Amino acid sequence: MKAIQQLTLVIFFGLIAGCATMNETSRLAGKWKLTESLADPGDGSGKWNAVTNESYLTFNTDGSVSSTDSPNFQTYKVLDSVKLEFTLNDGRKQVVSYKTEGSTLTLTPQCIEACGSKYVKVN
């Protein structure tokens, strides 16, 4: 009987974790327009700057991703509430931190100096 209760708990928490990932995936799904970028020259003086070119990142609910700036991106996977994993054309994986606030998405890849991109959802 105790084994059945433990199994039930494992399944329950697994379903909750899966639902959280699905919620994050559905929140990311859609087309995002790049609005700001952050680049630091190495002295901590980096600031978010407006972007004037038309650049988009599209997350699809099937896990595929496309970008006008990074055509190497093939798929994405929500690892947890703050990390995404992109798979590139050559099979390499790239993990980036992400944060959503309303209709804004901030991506911060692993850089030696501060770097990042901010997007606004367009659909």
What is the predicted pLDDT for the residue at 44?
A: 85
What is the reported pLDDT for 80? 94
Cα–Cα distance measured from residue 73 to residue 86, given in angstroms and rounded to the nearest whole number = 6
> What pLDDT, on the 0 to 100 scale, is given for residue 39?
84
Per-residue pLDDT at 123 = 80
For the whole model, what pTM was predicted? 0.76
Query: By the 8 A CB rule, do 64 and 73 touch?
Result: no
- pLDDT reported for residue 42: 85
φ, ψ of residue 12 in degrees (nearest 5): -60, -50
pLDDT (0 to 100) of residue 62: 95
Q: What is the per-residue pLDDT for 43?
A: 87
- Residue 56, strand partner residues: 33
Task: For the chain of 123 residues, list the mean pLDDT of each consecutive stretch of 10.
Answer: 37 39 72 94 90 94 91 92 95 96 94 92 91
Domain limits, the chain:
2-121
One-letter amino acid for residue 92 of the chain: R
CATH number of this structure's domain 2-121: 2.40.128
